[in-house]
C-alpha cells in the first residue's frame, strides 16, 4: 500500500508565519506517516515572476532553509525542484487537452489572485497553472493503483478548486484511456488563513506586513507593535473587544490557553494594548527561536541545500518516469508496432 503526500509552495521568497500555521505545521504532523514529496514550485512561480527569473535562485534557497529549519526532514521526505522534473511538463501537455477553457476561467482562486495582484494582463501560463498543478499531483499517483493506496494533498482552503480540477482530470483520463490515476484527497490545515496584523488581508509578502520565519526578535516585536487593536478602545483603561482585535486572533493561534487570560484582561480594560502585544511578541519569538538556531547552522554549511534538492528531485524523477511510461502506454503514444522503444524513452 502506498501512502504518499504531494504538496508544494511557489518559490517567490522567504516564508512567513502564514505559511507556517497554514501549511508547514500540517506537513510536519503528517510527515512521520507518509512518503512525502514537497515541491519547490519554481515553474509555477513564473506565473508572476517570469520577468524576474534571477530572483528565483535565492527564493529556492530561502524556502529550502525555511523548510529545514522548521523540521521537515530531507532524509525521510523529498524536496523536489519542479523545473528539474521534466516529466511534469509532459503530463501538463497531455492534461491540457482534457480541461476546458471555461473551467480555467471560472476558477475562483485564479480570479482572486488576478484581483489581489492587480494583474492587467494575464499570461497563458498563468491561466494554465491549475492544469500543471494537476500534473504535479498526479505524477505521484501510485502506478499501478491498488486498493488502499493514498495520495494526500495537505493544503489551505484556497487550493481546493485546484484539487477538484485534479480529480476531474484524473477521472476523465481514466475513462478515456484506462484506469491510471487514483483520486487525490485534500487535507486542510487547522488554521485556514492567517490575517495580517492590520486585520483585513491575508498575511503575505506582497502586502509588506508579513512576519518572516527568519525575522530577528526585534523585527518581530516591531511588526507586532505596529499591528492594530480594537479601534473603539481609544484610551488606556477603556474596555476592549478581543473578538474584533487582530492581535487577539494571534494570541489564540500562538498561545492557545494563555489567550483566555488576555481576553479577560482586555474586556476589563486592565490590560493595556502595549502589554498585550509584548506578551504576544514573546510567544512568537519563543516559537521562532529554534528555527533561527537551525537556520544559522544551515547557513554555516550551505552545501546541504543543493544536496537535499538533488536527492529529493532524483527520487521524484524515478516516480515521474514510471508514471509517464504508463501514461504514454495508455494513451497509445508508445506505438508498439513501430518499435520506437529507443526514442520513446525519456531517459
Ligand atoms: N499553488 C500552490 C501555492 O500557491 C503551490 C503548488 C504548486 C502546489 N503545485 C502544487 C500545492 C501541488 C499543492 C500541490 O502555494
Whether the Cβ atoms of residue 146 and residue 1 lie closer than 8 Å to each other: yes
Predicted pLDDT of residue 195: 73
| Ligand 1 in reach of 156 Cβ (< 6 A) | no
Q: Kindly report the backbone phi and psi dihedral angles of residue 112, in degrees, each rounded to the nearest multiple of 5, phi listed first.
A: -65, -40
The answer to whether residue 249 sits within a structural domain is yes
For residue 66, give the nearest of 117, 116, 27 by alpha carbon.
27
* 263 sits in which H/E element: helix 259-268
Predicted pLDDT of residue 207: 56
Whether the link from the prior residue into 144 is cis, omega within 30° of 0, is yes
Do 328 and 295 fall into the same domain? no
Residue of 36, 127, 133 with the most ligand 1 atoms within 8 Å of its CB, for mutation: 133
Close Cβ partners of 166 (under 8 Å, ≥ 6 residues apart) = 133, 134, 137, 138, 153, 184
Q: Per the structure block, which three cell numbers stand in for 88? A: 511534469
Predicted pLDDT of residue 194: 77
- CA dihedral sign of residues 217, 223, 226, 231: negative
pLDDT along the chain (347 residues), means of 10: 97 94 95 98 96 96 98 98 98 98 96 89 95 98 95 95 98 98 95 71 63 96 92 89 91 87 94 95 96 97 98 98 96 89 58
Predicted pLDDT of residue 201: 63
Whether the Cβ atoms of residue 207 and residue 201 lie closer than 8 Å to each other: yes
Do 50 and 110 fall into the same domain? yes
Do 85 and 185 fall into the same domain? yes
| Ligand 1 in reach of 155 Cβ (< 6 A) | yes
Q: Per the structure block, which three cell numbers stand in for 26? A: 500540517
Do 149 and 289 fall into the same domain? no
The answer to whether residue 200 sits within a structural domain is no
Whether the Cβ atoms of residue 134 and residue 327 lie closer than 8 Å to each other: no
* 3 sits in which H/E element: strand 3-10
- Output the residue whose Cα is nearest ligand 1's atom 3: 9
The answer to whether residue 171 sits within a structural domain is yes
Predicted pLDDT of residue 123: 93
Whether the Cβ atoms of residue 197 and residue 247 lie closer than 8 Å to each other: yes
Cα separation of the two ends of the chain: 27
* Cα 8 to middle of ligand 1, angstroms: 5
Predicted pLDDT of residue 273: 94
Residues of the domain holding 266: 215-299
Predicted pLDDT of residue 196: 72
CA 217, distance to chain mean position in Å, is: 25
Number of residues that this document lists for the chain:
347
Do 147 and 79 fall into the same domain? yes
The answer to whether residue 94 sits within a structural domain is yes
Do 221 and 137 fall into the same domain? no
Do 9 and 42 fall into the same domain? yes
Whether the Cβ atoms of residue 59 and residue 45 lie closer than 8 Å to each other: yes
CATH of the domain at 292: 1.10.240.10
* Cα 346 to middle of ligand 1, angstroms: 25
The answer to whether residue 95 sits within a structural domain is yes
Provide the domain count of the chain: 2
| Ligand 1 in reach of 9 Cβ (< 6 A) | yes
* Cα 149 to middle of ligand 1, angstroms: 21
Do 230 and 90 fall into the same domain? no
- In eight-state DSSP terms, residue 31 is G
What are the CA-CA distances from residue 139 to residues 50, 78, 166, 324, 335 (Å)? Answer: 24, 14, 11, 8, 22
Whether the Cβ atoms of residue 284 and residue 220 lie closer than 8 Å to each other: yes
| Ligand 1 in reach of 202 Cβ (< 6 A) | no
- In eight-state DSSP terms, residue 180 is -
Residue of 7, 63, 66, 128 with the most ligand 1 atoms within 8 Å of its CB, for mutation: 7
pLDDT in tens, 216-275: 999 999 999 998 899 888 888 999 999 999 899 899 999 877 899 999 999 999 999 999
Whether the Cβ atoms of residue 65 and residue 292 lie closer than 8 Å to each other: no
Do 246 and 102 fall into the same domain? no
Do 275 and 324 fall into the same domain? no
Residue of 6, 95, 162, 320 with the most ligand 1 atoms within 8 Å of its CB, for mutation: 162
For residue 262, give the nearest of 243, 249, 282, 248 by alpha carbon.
248
Residue of 6, 8, 125 with the most ligand 1 atoms within 8 Å of its CB, for mutation: 8
pLDDT in tens, 332-345: 999 988 987 666 55
Do 178 and 155 fall into the same domain? yes
Whether the Cβ atoms of residue 56 and residue 282 lie closer than 8 Å to each other: no
CATH of the domain at 158: 3.40.50.620
The answer to whether residue 204 sits within a structural domain is no
Do 248 and 105 fall into the same domain? no
The answer to whether residue 202 sits within a structural domain is no
The answer to whether residue 210 sits within a structural domain is no
Amino acid at each position: 500500500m502506498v501512502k504518499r503526500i504531494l504538496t508544494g509552495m511557489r518559490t517567490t521568497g522567504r516564508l512567513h508565519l502564514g505559511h507556517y500555521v497554514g501549511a508547514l505545521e500540517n506537513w510536519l504532523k503528517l510527515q512521520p506517516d507518509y512518503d512525502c514529496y514537497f515541491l519547490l514550485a519554481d515553474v509555477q512561480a513564473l506565473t508572476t515572476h517570469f520577468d524576474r527569473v534571477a530572483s528565483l535562485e535565492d527564493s529556492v534557497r530561502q524556502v529550502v532553509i525555511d523548510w529545514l529549519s522548521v523540521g521537515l526532514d530531507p532524509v525521510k521526505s523529498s524536496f523536489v525542484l519542479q523545473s528539474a522534473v521534466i516529466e511534469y511538463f509532459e503530463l501538463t501537455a497531455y492534461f491540457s487537452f482534457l480541461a476546458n477553457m471555461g473551467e480555467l476561467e471560472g476558477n475562483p482562486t485564479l480570479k482572486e489572485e488576478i484581483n489581489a495582484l492587480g494583474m492587467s494582463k494575464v499570461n497563458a501560463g498563468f491561466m494554465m497553472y491549475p492544469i500543471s498543478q494537476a500534473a504535479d499531483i498526479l505524477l505521484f499517483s501510485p502506478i499501478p493503483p491498488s486498493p488502499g493506496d493514498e495520495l494526500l494533498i495537505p493544503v489551505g482552503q484556497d487550493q481546493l478548486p485546484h484539487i477538484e480540477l485534479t480529480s476531474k482530470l484524473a477521472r476523465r483520463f481514466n475513462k478515456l484511456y484506462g484506469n491510471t490515476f487514483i483520486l487525490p484527497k485534500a487535507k486542510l490545515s487547522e488554521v485556514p488563513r492567517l490575517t495580517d496584523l492590520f486585520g483585513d488581508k491575508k498575511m503575505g509578502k506582497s502586502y509588506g506586513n508579513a512576519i518572516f520565519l527568519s525575522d530577528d526578535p526585534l523585527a518581530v516585536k516591531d511588526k507586532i507593535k505596529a499591528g492594530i487593536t480594537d479601534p473603539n478602545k481609544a484610551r488606556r483603561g477603556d474596555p476592549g473587544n478581543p473578538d474584533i482585535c487582530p492581535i487577539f486572533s494571534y494570541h489564540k493561534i500562538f498561545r492557545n490557553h494563555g489567550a483566555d487570560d488576555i481576553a479577560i484582561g482586555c474586556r476589563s480594560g486592565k490590560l493595556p494594548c502595549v502589554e498585550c502585544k509584548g506578551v504576544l511578541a514573546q510567544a512568537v519569538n519563543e516559537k521562532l527561536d529554534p528555527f533561527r538556531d537551525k537556520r544559522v547552522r544551515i547557513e554555516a554549511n550551505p552545501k546541504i541545500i543543493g544536496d537535499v534538492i538533488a536527492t529529493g528531485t532524483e527520487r521524484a524523477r524515478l516516480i515521474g518516469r514510471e508514471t509517464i511510461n504508463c501514461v504514454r502506454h495508455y494513451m497509445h503514444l508508445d506505438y508498439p508496432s513501430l518499435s520506437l522503444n529507443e526514442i520513446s524513452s525519456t531517459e
